[in-house]
Amino acid sequence: MKRSRRYLLILSGLLLLALLACRRASADPLAGTLWVVTSCLGQEPVLGTTLTVSFSDGQVRGSSGCNTYFGSYRVSGSRIDVEQLASTKMACQEPGVMQQEGAFLASLREVYTYRLEEGRLELVRPDGQTLVFKPGE
């Protein structure tokens, strides 16, 4: 009898841990993901550049085509807030790279909703313009 009670307690504990893990995962579906830009405000990235975003433990970071950036983020439902964004300050000479970087970082600061659809991430600004991402590796 004691043995079955012990197994029941262990099983109950494992179920509780699993439920807590599921709840945490559902609270932030972006946590632990990496994405690569396929479209920035309707434009493909400048040839030879890669723009990325990764989400982990409330932190956002990635490449903006020339520099790296970092900041914090919060999600609630379909709402996302990206805050305290900062980046390194290298200058890239290739045509269009710095303009693309400025538009990308400004848009990240402005996004207010996100959608996960058909294997892609869309970050949406208040004016409806989007940043579209595919899963990274």
- H-run or E-run covering 115: strand 113-117
Q: Give residue 55's pLDDT.
A: 97
Phi, psi of 13 (to 5 degrees): -65, -40
Residue 110 CB coordination number (10 Å)? 15
Per-residue pLDDT reduced to its tens digit, 72-124: 999 999 999 999 999 999 999 999 999 999 999 999 999 999 999 999 999 99
Under 8 Å between Cβ of 113 and 99: no
Q: How far is CA 76 from CA 16, 26, 119, in A?
A: 23, 10, 20
Give the Cα-Cα-Cα angle 124, 59, 115 (nearest 5 degrees). Answer: 25
